[in-house]
Amino acid sequence: MTFRKQVLGLASIGFAAAISMTGCGNEPTQTALPVGSTVIALGDSLTYGYGASTETAYPTVLAELSKWQVINAGVNGDTSADVLTRVHEITEQNPDLVLLGVGGNDVLQRIAPDTTRANIIATIDTLQSKNIDVVLIAEPHLSTSALFGKASDNPLYEDIAEAEDIPLYSDGWSTILSDDALKSDRIHANAAGYRQFAEGLHGYLKDEGWVR
């Protein structure tokens, strides 16, 4: 075999391996939850559905889309500390999955980011200690762009997801809260916004493998 053919052969093998690795990255990484599984949406007013109704809140819409039993455990005004104090109520229900979205009120109340981070990590650790899977949901933070209607995710969520090695659904709320047609006020969605969020989250969960 000539040197040219050897080089071409090695290049072909490397290219094929790269394609294979890329393909593997697109494969679902989670085990699908069957119809009727118990999923708890844990969080604040964005989970509760403030600005619309509990019937149009994202957990209700997600239940319709996924065919899971999605329990709305959102409480208006909850901070990360509030969620941490009631996480044991969540573990007692033995859910198959928890969708955790909290931290926006911490920003509004000017709670130190390190405190928020510690509370969210403690919540995740408590859930995982009971073998409960968690998907973290990013929420926006106050920034110069937010004042002009363009919300962006608080970077601490990406930090937490990497540190805890858990899935992160990003840009969902930031996208909704950057569109006046999807908001009931500056920091909450309306019914259309909650539906769009639920549809986006459902698509993410399907890509990850949670939804069949």
Which CATH number does the domain 33-208 belong to among 3.40.50.1000, 3.40.440.10, 3.40.50.1110, 3.40.1160.10? 3.40.50.1110
Q: What is the pLDDT of residues 47-77, one digit of tens each?
A: 999 999 989 999 999 999 999 999 999 999 9
Q: Where are the domains of the chain?
A: 1-30, 33-208
What does the alpha-carbon distance between residue 70 and residue 60 come to, in Å, rounded to a whole number?
A: 7
Q: What pLDDT shows up at residue 18?
A: 40
Q: Would you state the pLDDT for residue 2?
A: 42
pTM value is 0.85
CB 91 within 8 A of CB 126: yes
Give residue-wise pLDDT tens across range 129-152: 999 999 999 999 865 455 456 889
